[in-house]
Amino acid sequence: MKPRNKFEKAVVASNARLTAISHKAEEWAVKNVVKHIAFRTSGHKCTCGDCGEKFEHKGKGIVRCPHCGHKIETVDTLKRKRKEANYFSTLEAIDGLQVQRVFLLSVIYSKGNPIKTDCREVCRMWVNVQGKVAVTARKRAMGYYVDSFNWGSSIELRNLYDVYWCISDAYIYPRHSLIPELRRNGLKGRLPDNCHLCRLMSALLSDNRIETLMKCGNRKAVAYFVNHPRELDTCWASYKIAARHRYVPKDYGMWCDTIRLLEKCGKDIRSVKYICPKDLKAEHDRWLHKVNAAEEMRRSIEKLQRAKQREDEFYKSKSCFFGIVITDNDIEISVLDSLEAYKAEGEKMKHCVFQCEYYAKRDSVILSAHDLQGNRIETVEFSLSQGKVIQSRGVCNRNTEYHDRIVKLVNDNAHRFLKARATA
């Protein structure tokens, strides 16, 4: 790929000047990046994967090899060979550019033999002083895995695909060099291990808000906002006010969600009363409940408005049944005669008579059974084609003690519905 601007031309020039990985960096990677094992058989005889020597050990977990002194993890297996691989990175400054070099370390443990290692460079993530990012990498190979590379290809300028972001989020060799601009903006001392380092460097050089957070020492906030850059635009003003009042959220994800919920509820997200709660989870859940209730109300109103468009059809097909009332000594059963009545019935009885548009069923008549005090008991669906009740449901679709009595009462009056339909 040909360089398209000054930055990419500088990357290509500096890319050719990089040397091979240092021996110390590779030794560190072998020690810290991959998992070290000891082959253990059922007889508790162990073989060190690092040096290949045998020793006895009956316990489980981490053990120190008596021959080479390395800490290794015992693995119960009869296999004689095992492979481990992982990515790691080094940081270098060259020609005023910061580069994160990503390597794939592969190791082979073979029973009775010393460990075999293979370290290959995969890609280089370049960052300039403006925070722009470019990548030089090996050519990707066709394969089942997205991180399949053609090891015979050279490291050249490539398009910045997601796979490079993924593999560069790896272990970092602690001995590194940084460009002065990164040190000026707060990247000093131990490197943060809870966010993507290349994204952090880019954000530090391009966004003064991340620089402010870094210099304040709030690395937890830095990690969250680097990984969720859009949240920073929404919550930055609230964060500054909260920081001024020495409020530090235990969970920045939940705190940012709370800020968005407050904004949806029309609350002032610059008010200390709202943005600095003592119990963050309780406040988050309270505002979430309010937002959900408001959303449910909005959907319910929209549902009723759509139903109103079919109101003429409803009255045309169901008005002949209005006024039919079935009673005995304790129960009164009447036809639902409006869309509002269907909506109220569904809300009170906590079922789907309105949501599932039973008012639009041409073959059905919906009735509501009450006691003499007006309390709802069950909702009844009467089929005109079958001439009988096909279902009767109480609260949350449960049957009540009056169920059989209600069904019998409506079925005994089936002729009234059929007669009303015939005369309509």
For residue 317, the model assigns a pLDDT of: 83
For residue 424, the model assigns a pLDDT of: 65
How far is Cα of residue 403 from the mean position of the Cα atoms in its chain? 45
Average pLDDT over residues 113-134: 93
pLDDT digits 0-9 by tens, 165-207: 999 998 999 998 999 999 999 988 788 778 899 999 999 999 9
pLDDT digits 0-9 by tens, 223-240: 999 988 889 999 999 999
More confident residue, 395 or 314: 395
List the Cα angle 231/233/237 in 5-degree steps.
Answer: 105
Average pLDDT over residues 110-131: 92
* Sequence-distant (≥ 6) Cβ neighbours of residue 315 within 8 angstroms: none
Q: What is the Cα–Cα distance from 276 to 249, expressed in whole angstroms?
A: 8
Beta-bridge partner residues of 392: 380
Average pLDDT over residues 243-272: 93
DSSP 174-185: SS----HHHHHT
Summary mean pLDDT of the chain:
90
Q: What is the Cα–Cα distance from 197 to 118, expressed in whole angstroms?
A: 24
Going across the sheet that includes 116-127, the strands are: 156-158, 133-137, 116-127, 97-110, 81-94, 171-172
Q: Contact at 8 Å (CB) between 258 and 284?
A: yes
pLDDT digits 0-9 by tens, 327-378: 888 899 999 988 888 889 988 999 988 888 888 888 889 999 998 888 999 9
For residue 346, give the DSSP letter. Answer: H
Going across the sheet that includes 376-383, the strands are: 325-327, 331-335, 364-371, 376-383, 388-393
For residue 221, the model assigns a pLDDT of: 92
